[in-house]
Amino acid sequence: MFVGSATPVPGGAHVTVDRALADSSLAGGRLRRLRTLLANGRALAPRLAHEAARRAQPVPLVRRPR
């Protein structure tokens, strides 16, 4: 899945892709998927903050189990 814009042109559309939206994988076991998701959280935090600001929404609070 991608985030971007599409502009109609004769015979189709011109698509501009800004970035990929999904950064998680469904491969591997349940523990591996959870570990990968949590590890990617730090890298994705700036993107989440930017997207929330763009939508004029607060950044969601994710409560991790301890």
* Per-residue DSSP letter, 24: -
- pLDDT recorded at residue 22: 65
Whether this prediction's pTM lies above 0.75 is answered by no
Residues 6+ apart with CB under 8 A from 27: 33
pLDDT under 50: residue ranges of the chain? none
Residue 23's closest CA among 5, 35, 41?
Answer: 41
**Helices (H), ranges, 9-64:** 30-54
- pLDDT recorded at residue 23: 58
- pLDDT recorded at residue 26: 66
pLDDT in tens, 2-17: 788 999 999 999 999 8
- pLDDT recorded at residue 6: 92
> CA-to-CA distance for 17 and 60, rounded, in angstroms?
24
